[in-house]
Structure formats: structure tokens, C-alpha cells
Structure 1
């Protein structure tokens, strides 16, 4: 069984957040606190909110508002709130941008293997992206979870009655895709993405024989 991450593995995602963050840093940086300092505060707020509120654009916009309040030591003004709300448009729309080679590669792999999609985040938001991608027909199941941890992977292989060592998790995030899957006994395919969210970064043991490293999605056809 091949299990696929969605955001930044099948389609572009974090680059959209980074574009908004870039504008936010320009707005908030000033005397006494540069862009790097603002980003450090925002990263800390996002990390805390991910634990209590989860993931997705609504939580992200909430984090921007909280960051403004923390940095300015007061509640946001109506104008500031409107500016933050305006960034919601960046995450709306009926389409997604597939990463190169994804559609063709998944179609071929689906003829050879059982494929499953595993993604985390806001259910409605992720369902919209899955539908917009046109890829759902390749998967035997689509699972949207609050968090991707060891228990998530253990539950998934049990649900499909699969021996963990015969399953592969494929994704771009060391923290959510690679490390917990390996801890649950699955193999993993690590396909790095230039714009992986900073909070998803972690070290992957280069000596771990259970992790296959690829530079492009289409290379999966050489191995599966």
C-alpha cells in the first residue's frame, strides 16, 4: 500500500501562505523589530495554535491577528482586521496547482498498487482541494485527520489490514510524513519541497534504509 500526503506533495500549498507572510512581514516590520524578528514571533504563535486549533487558512489568519496584537500590545483596529481578512482570498477558489508529474504518476501507480491519501487540516478546506485536484479516483480511501502522528499511521494500517513494513508513506514533511511513519513501522519516501512549512522541518536520518529519498514525484515509477 502506498500512502500519499497531499499539501506540497501532490499540489502546491505552503507557497501561498509564504506569499501572504511576505506581505505581512513588510507590513509589521519597523524600527526595533525587523522582518526576521516578526517571523520568529509569528512562528511561535503558529506552533502554539497548531496544537490547540489545528491547521488551515482560518487558523493561519487567526495567528496573523494574534501576532499583530502581541507586537502592538493592543487589540487590532477595524482597519487592521479588514486587512487580515482580505488575505483570505488567497486561499479561496476552485482550483489547485498540481505539482509536476503528479497526475500521470498517480494514474500509473493506481494500476499497480493500492493507493491511499492521508492529509491533515481543516476538513472542509482539504475536501475542497481534493475535489479540485481531480485525483480522488486514484485512491481507495481519503483520510483527513487532525494530526499525523504515530497513532495515526498505526490506525491506518490496521484499518486496511496491512503489515506496516509493506506500506510506504510518501510526502515532503519530515515531521508529519516521514518520522512518525517510520516510528510506526512503515517505510517512507521523502520528496523534499523548497517551500515546506518551517514547522514541518525535522532531521531525517540519512542512514535510515527505510527512507527512500527522491528529487521529483515522477521518480516513484522507477521504484513502485
Structure 2
């Protein structure tokens, strides 16, 4: 018998696809935002800088991205966006609100099998209403004993999670695709982690994961969890 442990799951790009949709919209926006001197890489660098700043003040999600589009257009065009441009930006980003949630392969079956022998929690960050909508649409909520939506997944958030649910960090694992939000802060809080890279992880979520860290399990797919837990 494998001993019971606490498995805490990230949501976006771990249980369902997310950033691939954002990247499609960003590509459309950068194509729309033509510039006489800056190519696509330079325009993307400006947008990434603006997003990083806006995330600190306005959090994550489609609302922050739409704001960042407007700020980027304002900066590169040297004037405020017009009402018509604001409407065009909103139309580009509409898919972020309307798109259907697409689970990663095997997500529901993996959670069902793990839930028989372990305690499962969900920890996701972003706009609470937007994340709740995605959780509801995913149909995965019944597999979890608790659902936590936080504005930021930093060291303090993990320490609060440990305290709130009486977790033993040594017997608890954070499972996700983001070094910045899932792996590194969980390890600093004393938890173990399972790193499942995603090809479309947001650039602002990148970070270096120590390959020699014995507290981090590296897997290639979510379904591989059932072979280890």
C-alpha cells in the first residue's frame, strides 16, 4: 500500500490547456499592432514588459491581458488608443472568455485514480470569477477536497495553504508546469513538487528548476502520476 499523501494541483496548463489560447490571441494582437520600426520580437518584448508590470497591480487573466494590449498600443503609437481600437482589442480577446475548457489528456481518469488513495487539493491563481468559471467548465471540481483561488502563488500563499489545511510539508506535493508559481515557491515553503513541463508555459512563468533537487519529481505527462503515487 502506498501511504496517503496530499497532492496539490495547479490548474492552467496542468489540468487543462490555457496559455496556448492566450498565445494565439497575442499573435493576432501583435500582427494587428503594426509598427514601422519594430518587428514582432521587439513588439512582443514590449508587451511582455507591460504584462509583467500589470500583473503586479492588476493580477492575472484575460482582463489584465486586454489592459496590457491597450497599454502596449498606447506606448508604441505614442498616443492613447481610440474607441474604435479599444473595440478591436476587445474583439481580439473575446475568445479568452468564450473558449471551451480543453482538459489535458487523461486528466479526469488520473485524478479519479489518485483520489482513491490520496488527498487532492486544487490551487490556482488569477481572477477569482474567471478561474471559477474554468473550474466549473472542467468538471473536475468533485475530485478535490478543497479549491483555492489566490491572486499570487508565492511563498506566503504556500505557507498559508499548509497552515489552513494542516499539511505536513514532507508528505505534500505541489504538481504543476510553472517553475515560478508551482515548483520554486512550494519548495521554499518546505513542500515537495512534481514538475510537468508544458510546451506553451507563459514566458513570465519560466524559471530554473534544480535537476539535482531530490524534492522535485520530473515527469513528462500528467498521466505518469499514477506510477509514482
TM-score normalized by structure 1?
0.98
- Equivalent residue for 1:3? 8
For structure 2, the residue ranges without an aligned partner over 5 or more in a row are 1-5
**Which residue does the alignment assign to 1:67?**
72
Match of residue 176 from structure 2: 171
What's the secondary structure of 2:21's corresponding residue? helix
Runs of 4+ in 1 over 4 A off after TM superposition: none
Pair 1:89 & 2:89 matched: no
Secondary structure (helix, strand or coil) at the match of 2:98 reads coil
Q: Does 1:45 align with 2:45?
A: no
Paired residues for 1:100-139 under 5 Å: 100-139=105-144
Residues 11 and 124 in structure 2, CA contact (< 8 A), matched pair in contact too:
yes
Q: Distance in 2 between matches of 1:95 and 1:79?
A: 27
**1:165-188: CA deviations, max 9, x gaps?**
110000000000000000000000
User: Number of aligned pairs?
Assistant: 224
**SS, match of residue 44 in structure 1:** helix
Q: Any conservation in 1 of the 2:186–2:192 contact (CA below 8 Å)?
A: yes
- What is the 5 A alignment of 1:18-37? 18-37=23-42
Does residue 148 in structure 1 map to residue 148 in structure 2? no
The residue number in structure 1 matching 2:3 is none
Farther-moved stretch of structure 1 (4-13 vs 76-85): 76-85
2:10 touches 2:122 (CA, 8 Å); kept in 1? yes
- 1:61 and 1:84 in contact (8 A); partners too: yes
1:29: how far off? 3.6
Q: After superposition, what is the alpha-carbon deviation per residue over 1:109-134, rounded to whole angstroms, capped at 9, x for unaligned?
A: 11110000000000000000000000
